[in-house]
Each structure stands twice: as structure tokens, then as C-alpha cells.
Amino acid sequence: MVFWVVWFLWNQSTFEGGKPIFAVAISLIWRSIHEAGSLQSGTMMNSVDELQALQRLHVSSHPSKAPRILEVNWRPPPLGYLKVKMDGVAFGSPSPAGCARVFCTCRGFVKGCFAIPLGVCFAFEAELAVAVHAIDYAWTFGWRWLWLESDSTFVVV
């Protein structure tokens, strides 16, 4: 928009004579921003920077709808067990994936963690790989009581 205003005022001063007025340029830019803001139909990506920029320009924002919110309660494993949650390892099917998981005690303290690159794989493959790595990691460190939590029926069965 700024480039168009500069071009417009330059052409006006070149072909119609006169000197471009800075206040006119600013006024044109503001009117165009407000008009474009009232005509927009898209949604913003809900970043703070984007919201602040729109507010400074006095443009009405159209935030996207909130995603479905699920209540998640962490429940500690039984005494003596270490818990590894495997939910949300991969999104989409197939997708490039990597994951990091944490071993927690019954009091919620972190006992250990691991991170692995998975490459492109399906969600089932990703969760199965995490289960195998978690068991291997726990066995290596002598942790024999492991609680694996997964939302994949195929991995748990």
C-alpha cells in the first residue's frame, strides 16, 4: 500500500504539477488500511505480534476459532513405577516425526528422558517406536517397573 501511495503521489506531482504533501500520503495509507481491514474475511494465526500489529493499525481482528479443548489430568503411576506418556507422538499420517519423552516417578519427579528422530512414519509406527525405546531405555538403567500410557489401542494390546 505504501508503495502504491508513493507511486500515486509521484505520478500526480509529475504529471499534474505541484509538490506531494506528506499529510495526504499518510491519510491515503490510513484510509486504505481501514478499508482493507473492514473487507477482510480471513483469520489471523493468533500470535501476539500479529494481534499487536492489527491493534496499532486500528484494524479489527478476526481470530481463528479455538481448537477443541480436552481436559487432561496427569495421574501418577503406582508407588515404585516410572510413567512414560506416549500420547501425541505423531500428528497426521504419514508425517515427519521425532519425539522426546520423560520418565516420571509417582511424585511427579523426572527420573530420565530421551529424544529420538523417527523420520517419516505413521502415527502407529511412531508410538510403537517410542514404546520400544522407552522399554529399552528403562531396561538399560535398571528401571524394571514401567508404566506406559498410550492412546493407541494397537500399541497397548
What is the CATH classification number for the domain harbouring 119?
A: 3.30.420.10
Whether 27 maps to a domain, the answer reads yes
The number of folded domains in the chain is 2
SS3 70: coil
Residue (of 73, 83, 77) closest to 112 by Cα position: 83
> Using CB atoms within 10 A of its CB, is residue 154 exposed (0-12), middle (13-18) or buried (19+)?
exposed
Q: Coil, strand, or helix at residue 52?
A: helix
**Across the strands, what pairs with 147?**
83
Averaged over 25-54, what is the pLDDT? 70
Residue type, 79: L
Q: What is the pLDDT of residues 120-145, one digit of tens each?
A: 777 778 888 888 888 999 999 999 99
Does 15 fall in a domain? yes
Q: Is the pLDDT of residue 72 over 80?
A: no
Tell me, what's the pLDDT at 88? 64
Domain stops at, among 13, 39, 56: 56
Please tell me whether residues 50 and 102 are part of one structural domain: no
* pLDDT of amino acid 145: 93
Q: Is 105 helix (H, G, I), strand (E, B) or coil?
A: coil
Residue 150's domain spans which residues? 82-156
Q: Are residues 90 and 148 in the same domain?
A: yes
**Residue 30, pLDDT above cutoff 80:** no
The pLDDT of residue 94 is 57
Q: Model confidence at 153, in pLDDT bands (50, 70, 90)?
A: confident
Establish how many alpha carbons lie within 13 A of residue 105's alpha carbon, considering only the half-sphere containing its beta carbon. Answer: 6
- 88 with 151, same domain: the answer is yes
Establish if 74 belongs to a structural domain: no
- Read off the pLDDT of residues 86-109 as tens digits, 9 standing for 90 and up: 766 655 555 556 777 888 998 888
106 domain-assigned:
yes
Pairwise CA distance, residues 153 & 133, whole Å:
18
